[in-house]
Copies of this chain bind each other. A is one copy, B any other.
Amino acid sequence: MTDVVSIDPRTGQAVEVVAQETTTDEVDRICVAAAQAAAPLEAMGRAGRAALLRACADALEVARPRIVELADRETALGTTRFEGELSRTTFQLRLFAEVLDEGSYLEASIDHAGDTPMGPRPDLRRMLVPTGPVAVFGASNFPLAFSVPGGDTASALAAGCPVVVKAHGSHPATSQLCADVMSQALAEAGAPPGTLAVVHGVQAGAHLVQHPAITAVGFTGSLQGAQALVELIGRRPDPIPFYGELSSLNPVVVTPAAAAERGAGIGTDAIGSATLGAGQFCTKPGLFLVPDGAHGDAVVESMIAATEALPAQVLLSSAITSSFLRTGQALADTDGVRVLARGGAQVSDDASRVAPVLLGTEATTMPDAVTEECFGPVTVVVRYADADQLIALLDRLPSSLTATVHRGSGETELPRVLAERLRRRAGRLVFDAYPTGVAVSWAQHHGGPWPSTNSQHTSVGTTAIRRFLRPVSWQGAPPELLPDELKDGPSPVPRRVDGVLHLAR
């Protein structure tokens, strides 16, 4: 038995024992219960599961003060942040209830029997069905929005998949509280036992992804953590899909016209975005490409001032602090890189607080090291001489969740070239804003080519549900054996009939 301890990162002290690490036998039991919940959860239908999601949202709102206080205590991210993150999380649960009400996500389609140029076609009816129990790995940096009650859980439950969450070790108490609140709400709303569970501990997570009952994995975390899980999944007799949100540099280009128009404002806001949550956002803009010359200097000068004005920052855990100090120092020591500014005066390496850092380099000397994600409050500026140099730089960057262009008012030519190139390497193109802040909506995409994700699906927004669904076609099925959404007559959902899309009703 190993204690699962909740630590206050502001003091580094253990505050309470939350639970014991989940044993292999317990993981087995939890996964079997999840498997048993799968059929009844699906049988609740879209309306039934929408009610479950709304009940979870309501219950989390009732527990708001306790959740906010606990999440802040475990992460030092501040209560204001968690008031907002909880609002986002309950909104997300309710939005997935709307997704169920609307029903497009089923991709319902009917082809009636008939003749085709390739011969007679039987009656075929297709829609998406839940994959089965899903494992969700909570992220260190969003104890609510990307953890027990987060987007993976909301989308999986909406899909009709029971969920087993591996709680992140940096906020076990928040995870357990959210799981308890949601489990009770689910039970009261009529969900089958086993619909939601939480496990603690690295070994429990490893056992979870190998359990035969688990049919897909949603993961937000490091590339290294992902690779370890992918390797375990590869050893299953039946490898399952792994949806990982991994590592992202999130480059930001400031065009000469943008720098000329509003360079100082961009610099200030840039540092605000890059150090939000102490630089621990997957969408943190890690690399700014700023033109040479006086207008670019103004951008950098305001970045320096903003960095120097920042207080020292508490990171999520001692492991993240150590890693930040190590990689941040290595970056600062890299040939071709210089320290432009440091915030949070009087910080020593052994404290739990770290100093925000702004580093600088040039297009001609930029080392590859600055193109790798560094978790925490470090920001890098690269200066470029002209458009050719800028475009050559873009080709050296890895793919990211996001890429941002700040352009001059009405400027089109250079932004078009940049957008075309950046679109090949990012999942979201941001104009004249910052990538932190990922709205939960129908048109959101949070994903991108490797290493930002390993998936052609999103982990934020309504289409995240697609990860936990698979298609089934019914051929020549008697009407009484078809799902309601595939029966002839008025349809409760949008669907395609003989190739033509129809709205609901």
Contact = CB atoms under 8 A, between A and B. Distances in A.
Nearest to A446: B473
A439 B121 contact: yes
A474 B477 CA distance: 42
Nearest to A113: B439
Interface in A107-133: 107, 109-111, 116-119, 121-122, 124-126, 129, 131-132
A324 B127 CA distance: 36
A458, A471, A474 — which one has the most chain B CB atoms within 10 A of its CB?
A471
Copy number of this protein in the oligomer? 2
A471 B496 contact: no
Given A98-B499, A433-B475, A503-B503, A456 B470 contact: yes
Contacts of A448: 470
Contacts of A132: 424
B238 A476 contact: no
Contact of A439 (B104, B116, B430, B439): B116
B124 A441 contact: yes
B499 A442 contact: yes
Contacts of A470: 427, 447-449, 456
Given A109-B442, A239-B454, A481-B416, A428 B472 contact: yes
A428 B473 contact: yes
A443 B477 contact: no
A489 interface: no
A222 interface: no
14 contacts: A91-B116, A116-B441, A124-B441, A124-B443, A126-B442, A126-B445, A132-B424, A407-B478, A426-B472, A429-B472, A430-B476, A431-B481, A432-B476, A443-B473
5 smallest CB-CB distances across A and B, nearest first, come from A445-B473, A238-B450, A126-B443, A109-B443, A124-B443
